[in-house]
Structure 1
Amino acid sequence: MLLRLEDFNMPMKLVFELEDRLRVDHERVRLAQALTLNLSKPRMGLKGTHGLFGSPEWWASIRERRMQLLYQFGLVQRAYVSGQDESTSNNTIDLKLGDGSVHMTGIYVNNKADADLFHPGCQVGIVYALDELKQQPAVDGGVNYLNIALEMAVSVG
């Protein structure tokens, strides 16, 4: 586990682990890997610098911290439905980070019922893998990454 729940000053529940999701979503892994390997699409998909998405090499790059990770912790300002799919459950939050900035992020859960745990005032921790995209450089001239949610936790109680 990348998020250390004991480091939070309150009870937290780990509600999302990408590794669990990918165990049942083989198609997502297959499609992502195929796009990485598709030479006819040089600007689409991941670069594969740290292994093919979801592969043992990719997970080892994460565990060994060869791939850059981004940790975000904050307070939910707002929970809401976004996107075009009809939904009765919130799927997005505005997360106020410690530096005062507010970031919109998805609600990631392995069990759909856990989406109801996200509400204004609760604490959230999320860790992303920053995986390089084929399309380089980024608009600012730096490295262009895809932020891939690996784990998400929310305060409970």
Structure 2
Amino acid sequence: MTHTVTYRLLDDATKIRQVQEATLNTEEFGLQPTHGLHGTPEWWGNIASGVLPMHTLKGMIIKVYMGSMGDWPEFRVREEDGTESSWTREAQSRELDAAYQIGCSVEVDYVVERFKAKSWSGPEETKSVVEIRVGSACNEA
């Protein structure tokens, strides 16, 4: 099956810059630079070498919606084993955002990073999305 790359962190200079600024300039926000500062050549090198492991989630989109307070684009995925999870609907353009459709296969590449100690009271880790690919042929779920 053919997949369309809807999002690639490597091409998202704004997001990389925001995460770096939060990490470098605040105590309340940002990520621990354990494997290098997010988005830097050192960080990418640690992914390439496997020091910062890349994970790939594969499944089918079962819901496309606005989360949070109706202002955050999200999609829900069901993996083959029945596990479900929600992800931010990242897209490099409005046209690519339209690829997120119920019944489409999806692949999400991500790395697990730790938030800074004082960043917030939620989970200690986050799944940082590196790339999302959506299948071009979709079946209604």
TM over 0.5: yes
Name the CA distance, whole Å, in 2 between partners of 1:54 and 1:126: 17
Please state how far the C-alpha of 1:85 moved relative to its aligned partner. Answer: 6.2
Name the CA distance, whole Å, in 1 between partners of 2:133 and 2:18: 27
Matched, 1:156 2:141: no
TM-score, length-scaled by structure 1: 0.74
CA RMSD, 1 decimal: 2.4
Name the CA distance, whole Å, in 1 between partners of 2:11 and 2:117: 28
SS in 2 for 1:81: strand
2:88 aligns with one of 106, 128, 147? 106
- Structure 2 CA distance for partners of 1:35 and 1:78, relative to 1, 3 Å: closer
Please state how far the C-alpha of 1:86 moved relative to its aligned partner. Answer: 5.4
Kindly report which structure 2 residues correspond to 1:1-157, keeping only aligned pairs within 5 A, or say none: 10-22=1-13, 25=14, 28-38=15-25, 41=27, 44-84=29-69, 91-135=73-117, 144-157=124-137
Name the CA distance, whole Å, in 1 between partners of 2:71 and 2:86: 19
TM-score, length-scaled by structure 2: 0.81
SS in 2 for 1:60: helix
- Structure 2 CA distance for partners of 1:114 and 1:73, relative to 1, 3 Å: same
- Decide which structure has the larger Cα Rg and report it: 1
Report the count of equivalent residues.
134
Please state how far the C-alpha of 1:18 moved relative to its aligned partner. Answer: 0.4
Name the CA distance, whole Å, in 1 between partners of 2:115 and 2:46: 16
Name the CA distance, whole Å, in 1 between partners of 2:100 and 2:22: 33
Name the CA distance, whole Å, in 2 between partners of 1:30 and 1:79: 28
Please state how far the C-alpha of 1:15 moved relative to its aligned partner. Answer: 1.3
| Structure with the bigger percentage of strand | 2
Q: Residue by residue, what CA displacement relative to the aligned partner does 1:52-72 show, whole Å, maximum 9, x if unpaired?
A: 112111111111111122211
Tell me, yes or no, if the aligned pair for 1:44 and 1:135 is still in contact at 8 Å: no
Provide structure 2 residue ranges, at least 5 long, that are not aligned to the other structure: none
Provide structure 1 residue ranges, at least 5 long, that are not aligned to the other structure: 1-9
Name the CA distance, whole Å, in 2 between partners of 1:86 and 1:53: 26
Q: What residue is the counterpart of 1:3 in the other structure?
A: none
Which 4+ runs in 1 deviate beyond 3 A?
28-31, 83-87
